[in-house]
Structure 1
Amino acid sequence: MADIKLGYNTGYWSAGPPSGALEAIQEAEKLGFNSIWTAEAYGSDALTPLSWWGAHTEKVQLGTGIIQMAARTPAATAMAAITIDHLSNGRFICGLGASGPQVVEGWYGQEYPRPLARTREYIEILRAIWAREAPVEYHGDFFDMPVDGGMNLGKPLKSTVHPLRNDIPIYLAAEGPKNVALSAEIADGWLPLFFSPKEDAWYREQLQAGFDAAGDATKKDRFEVSSGVMIIPGDDVQKCADMVRPFLALYAGGMGAKGANFHYEVFERMGYGDVADKVQNLYLDGKKEEAAASIPLEMVEDVALVGPADKIKGELDKWRETCITEFLLSGPAMMLPIYAELING
């Protein structure tokens, strides 16, 4: 089998920047990793650290994993993308996502309904700005350029800066079936979360629906699927799984409200509805440790690689057979050579 591409995820900040991020990024480039990625939730933003750390690299691609669309107008995101793409000599990947209603409505003060339709409009505007073929005029359900109102002095404008690339790649974060299909239809790549090899056929169906809607017979061959994969090597499988359980509990139980948690729905589709219910109830009651402890090993092993090196290498075959084209890894610099050896030998 051909080597799978590797990327490095710096992850979310906590009270401050992740320790050792620059060292790990430089190690990733030294090892020949394809990309590095930054994230944002409701603390640090994704673009500033990507520029800062990216300035210390030369070849690795620089991706946002992800820019929350509610955080910026399409024009602001398009401007940032043009800027970083120039400064990095054409290495920027614009990773986008809708986030969830708690963050969008609570932090950004925007309404959340119809995120797919909003995403479609957002990306159409990005493409129009980067194409720079004409002043941008767009009148949709969510975005109005120029706006109808105010002083009524707005006029269609064209970026003063010529993009280094008019086709800056867009990767869309998606979990639900319609959103996964949308990524294949209108984006250049898909950023899954909690990908499970046993769900590969189902995901391929959604992607194919998107490729069909795009009407481009060649798109499937150049479409990227860059998926985060947690790898915890160690002799004791359960102890390794314990490193993953709090992360799964946070997303399945604590991210979003009951009835509006897309991560919960991912595990429900995998057949862990009862577990997800229990985790969510415990987590929302403030019993975070109990929530994590209630996650079975099987559920961890469906979305992560844990345990002795030989076990991980044996399980990697089923991951290689999926639609994933790039593994996005996390951890300190010292772990990256170990990951690379486990995955590609």
Structure 2
Amino acid sequence: MTQNWGMTIPFYDRSLAASKELIEELPSLGYTDLWSAEVNGADGFTPLALASQWAPGTRLGSAIVPVSTRGPGLLAMSAATLADLAPERFVLGIGSSSPAIVERWNAMEFTKPYARTRDTLRFLRAALAGEKVSETYETFAVKGFKLERAPKVAPKIVLAALRPRMLRLAAEEADGAITNWLSPDDVRKVRAEVRPETELIARLFVCVSEDADAVRERGRWMLASYLTVPAYAAFHDWLGRGEQLRPLHEAWAAGDRKAALQAIPDEVVDALIVHGDAATCRARIQEYVDNGLDTPVLAPIPGETPIAQAVRDLAPKA
């Protein structure tokens, strides 16, 4: 279908410890990329470290590690470790994250998200190249940091980017952009903000199930937790869903979670979550690719088909 075909690890239905056999199988199925996440489950680096040994030859990426939950030096050390384990195969994905993750869960400050991401990108470029960094950036200062063992080849760095300003930063200073929760048609608008040669990556939530009502019920819970985050609300405003999602935001602001879930239209769930039988899902994923997505990163969610089977059915070699 496309040169890059990614899978999210670990899987939705099992721990990292229980994921080894299925991760080992992914390369034979045609998956080229394995991407982690970091919210409130596994951290963004450990799954990739294990996958570097379990699935050698695959490209490994973090999508994404927040720039405000670790110090710049620690972030550089973690990236250097992965770059050593998977030379020229590790891609560091970073992003601003959200106030809930940064402040409420990690007791850090969520301020100037664009500037913090830009400053972290610039610091990492220097640090991962082996330079000694003493620099005062807009959002932090580093004095005399130098990696004890810089990677022989610095990893590529990609940015989580939803709207034009961050997308342009990803195109101008990073090696690619990662986006999330969008439809195939939305890819065209996002792609228009970055150069053709800029890699565009997106996590796609996929449910192999023909029970559309059950998928929509689960999908509303997932979407409500994201679309009410200010950055995602602004993203979908920009994409043109402001009026469709207004009832959701009004009910959420009033504290009526049940009404908020019910306010998400079926057509929004259907636009943002890939579902149907395996052939329908593969065709839908191909629409993303045809509209300018370079690297789809699949995230299978529970449905009628068990996750392990869905992983196999959605593979390029299926």
Aligned twin of 2:188: 201
Which of the residues 307, 322, 325 maps onto 2:294? 325
- CA shift, 1:289, in A, is 4.8
Supply the AA of the counterpart residue of 1:37.
Answer: W
**Does residue 1:121 correspond to 2:96, yes or no?**
no
Provide the residue aligned with 2:45 in structure 1: 47
- Give the 5 Å matches for 1:149-188: 156-166=144-154, 168-188=155-175
1:197-236 to 2 correspondence within 5 Å? 197-208=184-195, 220-221=196-197, 223-236=198-211
Q: Residue in 2 aligned with 1:242?
A: 217
Structural mapping, 1:1-345, within 5 Å: 3-10=2-9, 17=15, 20-42=18-40, 44-132=42-130, 134-146=131-143, 156-166=144-154, 168-208=155-195, 220-221=196-197, 223-253=198-228, 256=229, 261-283=230-252, 287-309=256-278, 311-312=280-281, 315-316=284-285, 318-331=287-300, 332-340=307-315
Offset of residue 4 of structure 1: 4.7
| Structure 2 unaligned residues grouped into runs of 5+ | 301-306
- Amino acid corresponding to residue 174 of structure 1 in structure 2: A
SS in structure 1 of the partner of residue 297 of structure 2: strand
For 1:128-166, what per-residue CA distance to the aligned partner results, in whole angstroms no more than 9, with x for missing partners? Answer: 11212x4222122222221xxxxxxxxx34322131313
Q: CA deviation at 1:276?
A: 2.3
Q: Deviations over 1:170-211 (max 9, x none)?
A: 111111221111111111121101122222332123214xxx
Structure 1: gaps spanning 5 or more residues:
147-155, 209-219
| Change over 3 Å in CA distance of 1:41–1:317 after alignment to 2 | closer
TM-score (norm 1): 0.80
Asked if the contact 2:281/2:314 (under 8 Å) is kept, the reply is no
For normalisation by structure 2, the TM-score amounts to 0.86
SS in 1 for 2:287: helix
For residues 102 and 209 of structure 2, the distance between their equivalents in structure 1, rounded to whole angstroms, comes to 38
Matched residue type, 2:178: L
Q: Write the deviation string for residues 252-308 of structure 1: whole angstroms up to 9, x where unpaired.
A: 13xx4xxxx111222333333244232234445665454333322211222222224
* Aligned equivalents of 2:83, 2:184: Cα separation in 1: 33
| Structure 1 residues 74 and 235, CA gap change in structure 2 (3 angstroms) | same
Counterparts of 2:208 and 2:284 in 1: how far apart (Å)?
12
How far is 1:335 from its partner?
Answer: 1.1
Q: Distance in 2 between matches of 1:310 and 1:31?
A: 16
CA distance in 2, matches of 1:87, 1:313: 32
Residue identity in the other structure for 1:140: Y
Q: CA deviation at 1:73?
A: 1.8
The one-letter code of the counterpart of 1:263 is Y
3-state SS of paired residue (1:70)? coil
Q: For residues 12 and 294 of structure 1, do their structure 2 counterparts lie closer, same or farther at Cα, with a shift above 3 Å needed?
A: farther
Residues 129 and 227 (structure 1 numbering): CA distance in 2 closer, same or farther, change over 3 Å? same
Structure 1 contact 194–266 (Cα < 8 Å) conserved: no
Q: Match of 1:172, as an amino acid?
A: L
Q: Please give the secondary structure, in 1, of the residue aligned with 2:233.
A: helix
One-letter amino acid matched to 2:135: Y
Query: How large is the Cα RMSD of the aligned pairs?
Result: 2.8
How many residues were matched structurally?
312
Checking the alignment, whether the CA contact within 8 Å between 1:39 and 1:65 is kept in structure 2 is yes
The amino acid that maps onto 2:79 is: A
Computing the radius of gyration from Cα coordinates, the structure with the larger value is: 1
Paired residue secondary structure (2:5): strand
Identity of aligned residues (%): 26
